[in-house]
Structure 1
Amino acid sequence: MSALFARSIGLTCLTCHDGQYTAHATASGQGRNGQVTSDDDCGLQLRLAMPRSLGGKGDGQNPEQLFAMGYAACFLGAMQLVAGQTGKSEAVKNATVHTQVHMGQPESMDGFGLEVHIQVEGVDDMELIEAGHKACPYSRALAKGAVVNVTKK
């Protein structure tokens, strides 16, 4: 979503200043039945496959799995960061974050929609969980929008 479009529909997008890290990824082949690669650090290559529930063979990974994995890791890291900043590191030492990313038809637009469910296990402090949610970049991007620039290479 461009920042201009986001503003025109009333979103206040989060912008990134003084970026500390940039991840790179490339998709090729047949989209959801293609490949994705990242040459950052140790690198990663995955073969993608449409999930069985969407009519595919389900013999590879799919973007929703990758999103769910990234979200779970980011949420856990944000919660641990906030816990450390507030002197509550012990409260998250056994934390596990489970995410479910549901893809389906959106209620009011064409294309697809996403719905995310997060369950935090091993943490009793709900204020800490909520603070982690507020600090997590995935949560913030979904709640407030993010600047997305699309160009031709």
Structure 2
Amino acid sequence: MTKTILTSRAAAVGGRDGKVSSDDNVINLDLVMPGTKGKEDIPTSNPEQLFAAGYAACFDGAYNLMARQAKKRVETRTNSEVSLLQDEADNGVKIAAKLVVEVVGVSQEEAEELLEKAHGFCPYSKATRGNIDVDLSVKVVDALSE
């Protein structure tokens, strides 16, 4: 039997025009349909934005772990885009992700090797593999911008 390492809990009410909250209330957001705005004084989000944030955080952690295992000292920023695309197969909607890692401290070749290792390790990458289009790239930079 597989050992559970962590369980996070959240609930949604009202779908894409509702509300989402975590069991500890750290996440407590109104949701709006993509492309629409909520009330001015209430922060809003959508499932794609939440998925993009989770994937970016998970992948950035995996990239840094792979760098540490390779005894490389790096600084990184992982930028994530999650898009809804028209699915021509059934005239519905599908999801796609794009991750761009900015890295300081290694060569472009080393950065690309770490990218592939991170993609093999990251739980979000494992969950999406073969299910959605994921576009990965990495670029070496002199310093991370604000």
- Range of TM-score over shorter length: 0.7 to 0.9
Report what 1:85 is aligned to: 69
- Moved runs in structure 1, 4+ residues, more than 2 A? 56-59
Aligned partner of 1:18: which letter?
Answer: K
Tell me the number of residue pairs that the alignment of Structure 1 and Structure 2 aligns: 122
Aligned pairs for 1:55-70 within 5 A: 56-57=36-37, 60-70=44-54
Give the distance between the partners of 1:62 and 1:47, measured in 2 at CA: 8
Corresponding position: 1:38 with 2:22: yes
Report what 2:113 is aligned to: 127
> Once the two structures are aligned, what percentage of the paired residues are identical?
43
Specify which structure has the higher proportion of strand. 2
The question of whether the paired residues in 2 share the 8 Å contact of 1:74 and 1:137 is answered with yes
Report the TM-score, using the length of structure 2 for normalisation.
0.75
Aligned pairs for 1:73-152 within 5 A: 73-88=57-72, 90=73, 92=74, 94-123=75-104, 124=108, 125-144=111-130
Specify which structure has the higher proportion of helix. 1
The structure showing larger relative contact order (alpha-carbon pairs under 8 Å, at least 6 residues apart) is: 1
Give the distance between the partners of 1:97 and 1:73, measured in 2 at CA: 7
Report the TM-score, using the length of structure 1 for normalisation.
0.72
Q: Which runs of 5+ in 2 are unaligned?
A: 132-146
Q: Deviations for 1:50-88, whole angstroms, at most 9, x for unmatched residues?
A: 122xxx335520000000000000000011111112212
Aligned pairs for 1:3-42 within 5 A: 17-28=2-13, 30-40=14-24
> Cα RMSD over matched residues?
1.9
